[in-house]
Amino acid sequence: MNDSKIVDLYLARSEDAVKETSLKYGARLRSAALKLGCDTGTAEECENDVYLRAWELIPPNEPREYLFAFLAKLLRSAAIDRLRRASAGKRSAEFTELTHELEECLAGNMSVDTEAEAKELGRMINAFLAAQPEEKRMLFIRRYWFFDSVDELSKRFGFSKSKVKTELFRMRGRLADYLRKEGYSL
Amino acid sequence: MKNDYLLESLNSVDDRAVEQAGDYRPVRRRGFGLAIAAAAMFVLALVLALAIGKIGHKGGEQTANGSEQTEAPADTHVPGDHARITLLHSSGGFDSNIVLSYKRDMAAARGEKVDLTNHFDVPENTLVEWVPFFKYDGRLYWSAFGELDQAAYLGERVLTVKEVYHRLPSEYNDGEGVFRGEVYAVNGFDPSFMLCRENPYYEGELVVYICDNGYSVAYGADVIEERFHVGERLESIIYEDMESEKHAYGIRHSLAAQSEAAKAFMQAIDEGAWCVPYETEEELEALANSDHWLVWLDLGDFSIRLRILEGKYAMLLGSFGGYFIELDEAKVRPFLDAMESGEGEAVENNAQLRGMKLEDAVLEPTYGRYIPDYIPEDARFEYCIGEYEVERKTGRTIGIKRLNLSYEYAPGSKVSGYINIYIGDLEAVHAVQGYEDPVRRYDVRLEELTADSFISQTDDPEYPVWRAVVYSGEVSIDITAGNVDRAELVKLIRSCFD
């Protein structure tokens, strides 16, 4: 079933909406949750969270053209929330590593400790990414949105691992410059 | 904690950018100099098996043969562990894949290094013909069943393939293959998974090449949905039982994609975990040959072949030969019930073949036009199929042309009869073809050829498949044709020698 028809089911408050969503995207969502560092049980919980949130958010949203992104965003949010609430020792190494990498973009006195701060920073990151060449933008999103490892990025983009690391390093540097020039401060 | 919400800031990234990134793969040009060590003789042996459609496993251990040894990726596990496996190879004959996947998985179970390319213990100087592949980005792409419409699917140019033949034992490099020409992305498909080229014989059609090796997968959807996009493309599910399969004109049924049974099946496939449901090679072969259903996922443009075993395993054939998905028995039950009760539209398999006409034949060259003189004089070589052995005495060049009598008789299945014309050493020709049956059984000299010289390859008088190998001097013609007028066929063959 195509995405638009699935969204129609949500709008019609048909219970088949969740069933069709699960049929089409369930495996991808679980797979994404596992990549984000969840264990199998947590991944299933996150998936169910997604269906519940999608049911609550459609309507008013109508993500006919970007249903997967819409669901993936819900999943990412649910998964990160669970990981953040986990004790430091239980957080995935990937979660910690990616946080550290992004911290490079912030000046020493900055921090992002609330949802409001995250939203403000996100708005600026979004503007920064929009101005980047497509391939670099995709690389950045795959790394920090989808949590792709360097190895996975290397295969996906056809770069050597060192090139992936170099590109990401440069992107973070440019983002840091951009945030500074735009007067970002928290 | 400081920066606890840092990663959540990315949630503001534009939805369309995320949607795009979800499937994003850059299309880039590759130079020929990017030689990546891999794919040695075993590859060519598999291709040979592909050409012939059957392969006889000879056992023995895998040998390096110059192929690259790579550490198993961290997420490669053996079945029963975390149900995450790595697809490694590709071939048309499932036996070869079974054996290779078995060896790979058992090696992983022992904690040994896993070969991420492929190996096969093939003797040196193995002759290879009809090799429908090329290498790109370190991986092999194999021609798949079906043709795509050029107007809708032709994407950006990816590389130019340089034609190479029969360099055994040797390694193929990026940009080398069995044809010469441009290769393109396929619109709507990941270039690391599917590429295409223009069909040299049928204007407006694309020949599809699929890479199914090197992917780490957990669930059926990782391949079925992520790469084939079946959820969006499925038109129907075609099935045939094992008994019907044995008949040349068996019955296939077609279930609409919207039917409840089809939906249940696709859900079971997508959610099923990849697995290796065997421990010994004997168990594997017994399972693969046990009672089963043949199933095609008909995507309109091409089809994906499956075999349903024991009501709970889906075994991917063709490009994905030899890999198993474990199905939830409750979820797949509606589909099994539908098959057992014969639901859906019934179509006689190969019905088109009965109407084959000579005037519809299309003259076309085969993939492999030459067997160059790379074979050392008196070299001995053999195939990994059957017991056929040939003493090659010369390095003579053999020219091959093909006269196709083709009809589409199932989704993505087209060729049903052909005439190969060889110019060269007759024995070598048949070594190339690798027929299991004794070649001489079909041989006839040109001057002795009559309509009665043809021998049917089936035991069914209503469905003969006529075959003869006609030779004169250094020219031979191998004919396999369906329900055609043999007197007319004789005239055609004689004209080929003129």
At residue A51, the pLDDT reads 87
DSSP A143: H
For residues A83 and A6, which has the higher predicted lDDT (pLDDT)? A6
Question: Quick one: which of B223, B236, B235 has its CA closest to B269?
Answer: B223
Torsions phi, psi for B325 (to 5 deg): -115, 130
How many CB atoms within 10 Å of residue A145?
Answer: 23
Q: Token digits for B97?
A: 């894949």
State the burial class of residue B258 (Cβ atoms within 10 Å of its Cβ: 0-12, 13-18, 19+). Answer: exposed
At residue B359, the pLDDT reads 53
Identify the closest residue of chain B to A39 by CA–CA distance. Answer: B82
Residues of B in contact with A156 (CB under 8 A): 24-25, 192
At residue B275, the pLDDT reads 78
Contact check, Cβ <8 Å, B225/A27: yes
Identify the closest residue of chain B to A87 by CA–CA distance. Answer: B1
Residue A140 has pLDDT above 70, yes or no: yes
For chain B, the domains span 41-210, 218-348, 352-497
Residue ranges, comma separated, of all CATH 1.10.10.10 domains in chain A are 93-181
Q: How far apart are CA B415 and CA B401, in angstroms?
A: 15
| Three-class SS state of A170 | helix
pLDDT block averages, 10 residues each, chain B of length 498? 65 78 60 22 26 26 28 32 41 38 56 44 35 74 72 90 55 74 90 85 75 73 86 89 71 91 94 77 72 87 84 74 81 95 81 53 38 33 23 36 41 40 48 39 81 75 71 69 74 72
At residue B420, the pLDDT reads 53
Residue ranges, comma separated, of all CATH 1.10.1740.10 domains in chain A are 3-87
Q: Is B130 left (phi over 0), alpha (psi -120 to 50) or beta?
A: left
For residues A144 and B419, which has the higher predicted lDDT (pLDDT)? A144
In the CATH hierarchy, which fold is given to the domain comprising B218-348?
Answer: Immunoglobulin-like (2.60.40)
| Three-class SS state of A176 | helix
- Nearest-10 crossing angle of helices A161-181, A150-157: 100
At residue B23, the pLDDT reads 72
B19 vs A68, A80, A118: nearest CB: A68
Q: Token digits for B274?
A: 């990849």
Identify the closest residue of chain B to A138 by CA–CA distance. Answer: B21
Contact check, Cβ <8 Å, A137/B17: yes
At residue B332, the pLDDT reads 95
Strand-pairing partners, residue B445, are: B471
In the CATH hierarchy, which fold is given to the domain comprising A93-181?
Answer: Arc Repressor Mutant, subunit A (1.10.10)
A114 vs B5, B12, B266: nearest CB: B5
Please, what's the largest Cα pairwise distance for chain B? 92
Cβ contact B384:B55 at 8 Å:
yes
At residue B104, the pLDDT reads 56
What is the 3-class SS of A66-99, one letter each residue?
A: CHHHHHHHHHHHHHHHHHHHCCHHHCCHHHHHHH
- Chain B residues interacting with chain A (CB cutoff of 8 angstroms): 1-22, 24-26, 28, 73, 137, 192, 214, 218-222, 225-226, 231-232, 263, 266-267, 270-271
At residue B189, the pLDDT reads 87
State the burial class of residue B487 (Cβ atoms within 10 Å of its Cβ: 0-12, 13-18, 19+). Answer: exposed
Nearest-neighbour CA in chain B from A4: distance (Å): 12
At residue A125, the pLDDT reads 85
Test the A interface: residue of B5, B75, B266, B267 with most A CBs within 10 Å: B5
For residues A111 and A3, which has the higher predicted lDDT (pLDDT)? A3
pLDDT digits (tens, 9 = 90+) for A26-84: 887 887 777 777 777 777 888 888 888 888 888 778 887 778 888 888 888 888 777 76
CATH number of A3-87: 1.10.1740.10
Residue A119 has pLDDT above 60, yes or no: yes
Residues of B in contact with A117 (CB under 8 A): 5, 9
Cβ contact B373:B397 at 8 Å:
yes
Cβ contact B274:B324 at 8 Å:
yes
Residues of A in contact with B221 (CB under 8 A): 26-28, 31
B2 vs A69, A111, A156: nearest CB: A111
Contact check, Cβ <8 Å, B3/A99: yes
Locus of tokens 């017991």: B387
